Structure 1
């Protein structure tokens, strides 16, 4: 069963939350919508029926009894119940035919089944929430920031389950403010804001840089050698801040703006991602995705989520995860001699 937004527009008084857009989340498709908190809240409330569109419609098969299941940012679990108790309650509530053991195994909570929810870590609670959602067995899944603040193992489990649901022909919509999460999990990624719905291309890599003419690259005896400036400038509060390339963890391009990520902080750069790639290449940086450049000296681990979905885990204090495109994975393996 598909979920469709048809000429869907939302205004609050004179403010445009998002203009009219069309989007179809078909069966066996994972679609991510990258947006602000305000837009995400509006989308969730519209799907829940708490608010209505200013114009247009949201269409799905209303004859299906349990058509939509939600994975909210805040879990809403009963803290005093054990994992097994809360799953039994959910199974009865939704008259589910799915065995509890299957939901526990899928979320890898076997050794925690008797533990009360209040004694679990945040990531384990999110896995319990995911197990409850699986027991509901809806045709359409709506995920709100599904991997926010969870550990790598829980993220791996989440990605695996998302792709299992995809192969079961479920329709999956992810709403998130994390572009890396959207790219890692979804088949199609869109940005939704006051300017409308726009696709974020994730399948193809950036264009090959053009080779300059030989005349432009030849240095004659009369040529003056340029001064090599190795620091990367950024602008913060009207001040120019200079960073040495080895300080940079990774570079991200978001809506046409490049950002340097350094020790958990983000600094805007006036240079394009292509320009930064050319400048950083001699310092061991790698264009791992059309929207990301990573300092390979900071990479600790390469994670394979699915056959076509990869991430790089950095050895920094935040253990940042950066998307790695399929073609770049092949290139990286060649570089590493694998």
Structure 2
């Protein structure tokens, strides 16, 4: 049983929450939607049928038991024990899955008689996951499933996901953390007011970085004429995966102790290239080396602030209103570029 979004569009008054998009969450796949809190809440309300789409449709079974949710808020009864909580879910959904087997999956069999209010945040999340496993729906909707979890619980969560994939379940993760989305899923999509976009991911292997360098050399040799606009992705590393970003997604780049970091919507990602390499690659896309340790996307700059005669800063129009330094010599270059 798959979950399908067909020409799904949501508007609130005159504001576009997300424009029309199509997405199919197939059986045996884990799909992550990376979005803002507002988009995530709208999607959950739509899936719960509390609200309706402005246009399009969401297709899944008409039977409520065939779709299950793991919410950010646990909603557990604090006075019940772990075992009592799971037994309550078993009676509620009328399933035949053994409680003991589920306790072993979440590795809380040793704490089955401990009350919920005495568990850690991560242990409570495991109990919440156990209740969902007891429910045993065809479609799983997971809201920020690994937020603030300890390493052991994250490992258990990934193990459960792999088992659900083998069972041919359809799994949709809704998160505002890109690293979490990449680590947990097979495919990652970004959904915002500009629509649905695939986040390109490659599994990292030992020879990947050497291959990237070879590809870059071949690209340079094959390019006899400098193009005014270049279409290319900028690779970053997240755990064992390589994520490819469009240059226009990047707010600014910072170099710290020889390592370059891309800053994108409040998150930081290590780059496989040096700051000098990135400066050359991103020049055709409107990026500017504003400081020896910073490159900025000029389309993101909102203000230029003068602190003293020799001290300047750029304020970006991102959510954090990030402030990055602008050196005196670069200020002169920027003025010339702006025609001031």
Which whole-Å deviations, capped at 9, do the CAs of 1:267-314 have from their partners, x for residues lacking one? xxxxx86443958xxxxxxxxxxxxxxxxxxxxxxxxxxxxxxxxxxx
- CA distance in structure 1 between the partners assigned to 2:49 and 2:116 by the alignment: 29
Partner of 2:151: 152
Aligned length: 239
- CA distance in structure 2 between the partners assigned to 1:3 and 1:244 by the alignment: 43
- Aligned pair 1:88/2:98, yes or no? no
Which whole-Å deviations, capped at 9, do the CAs of 1:102-157 have from their partners, x for residues lacking one? 11011000111000000000000000000000000000000000000010100000
Partner of 1:60: 60
Gaps of 5+ in 2: 222-251, 279-340
Give the TM-score normalised by structure 2: 0.65
- Aligned pair 1:251/2:230, yes or no? no
Partner of 2:74: 75
Gaps of 5+ in 1: 214-239, 262-271, 280-338
Partner of 1:113: 112
Q: 2:33, 2:175 within 8 Å by CA — same for their partners in 1?
A: yes
- CA distance in structure 2 between the partners assigned to 1:162 and 1:115 by the alignment: 26
- CA distance in structure 2 between the partners assigned to 1:138 and 1:9 by the alignment: 26
RMSD value, Cα:
2.6
Partner of 2:338: none
- CA distance in structure 1 between the partners assigned to 2:268 and 2:28 by the alignment: 34
SS at match of 1:130: helix
- CA distance in structure 1 between the partners assigned to 2:212 and 2:42 by the alignment: 39
> Per-residue deviation at 1:60?
1.1
SS at match of 1:202: strand
Give the TM-score normalised by structure 1: 0.66
Q: 1:18, 1:195 within 8 Å by CA — same for their partners in 2?
A: yes
SS at match of 2:7: strand
Q: 2:263, 2:269 within 8 Å by CA — same for their partners in 1?
A: no
